[in-house]
Amino acid sequence: LIDIDRFKSINDRLGHDGGDLALKTVAAELRKVQRNGDVLARWGGEEFLVIAHGLDFAGAAALSERLRSSIERLSDDDPITVSVGFAPCPFFASDAANKTGWKNALGFADHALYAAKHSGRNGWVGLWPRHHIDHASNSAAVLADPQRALRRDDIEVRASAGTVVWKGGSGA
């Protein structure tokens, strides 16, 4: 998931036409950077969804950085930045047979996106399961307390910033 940082202020400064232009500019740049076969969609408001097949954690982090940095380089005068959150689909191996497993992955990506926002914006955060965690009932516990999941070695987190700040404002 990709969210344009401080989009409301873009609309406030430039009007809705300026906001629409910013959305079109970001979408065009994301299309340039995405890989062949990836899917790009506007996910609502100022959010975009990228579905990228066949990536491991390092590849997803590298793609997130390419997407983020390409938007940052669009303009020196009035820069647009984005925050990115990502997770694999399926998140849990048991989700592979479940037709709603994409919802788990989307929930983790959304949680990672908000962690990127809380960590200062203009960055990315990725959540990835450890191999030994394989049950969808764990998703609520992981989302409720990602730091506990990290301590238990249930998930791995990578981020463009040195410290990840979760909802409550605490870093990890």
With bands split at pLDDT 50, 70 and 90, how would you rate the model's confidence at 170?
low
Helix, strand, coil shares of the chain, percent, nearest 5, are 45, 20, 35
Residue 43 phi, psi (nearest 5): -100, -5
Reported as a single tens digit per residue, the pLDDT across 19-71 is: 999 999 999 999 999 999 999 999 989 999 999 999 999 999 999 999 999 99
- Provide CB contacts within 8 A for 113, sequence distance 6+: 1, 2, 3, 83, 84, 85, 125
Query: What mean pLDDT is predicted for residues 76-88?
Result: 90
Reported as a single tens digit per residue, the pLDDT across 124-159 is: 999 999 876 665 556 777 888 888 888 888 889 999
Q: Is 72 a catalytic residue?
A: no
Residue 3 phi, psi (nearest 5): -125, 130
The catalytic residue among 46, 47, 65, 72 is 46
pLDDT at residue 7 greater than cutoff 60: yes
Long-range contacts of 45-50 (CB under 8 A, 24+ apart): 45/7, 46/3, 46/4, 46/7, 47/1, 47/2, 47/3, 47/4, 48/1, 48/2, 48/3, 49/1, 49/2, 50/1, 50/2
Whole-angstrom Cα distance, residue 25 to residue 99? 34
User: Facing residues of 84 across strands?
Assistant: 2, 124
Report the 3 state secondary structure along 39-61. EEEEEECCEEEEECCCCCHHHHH
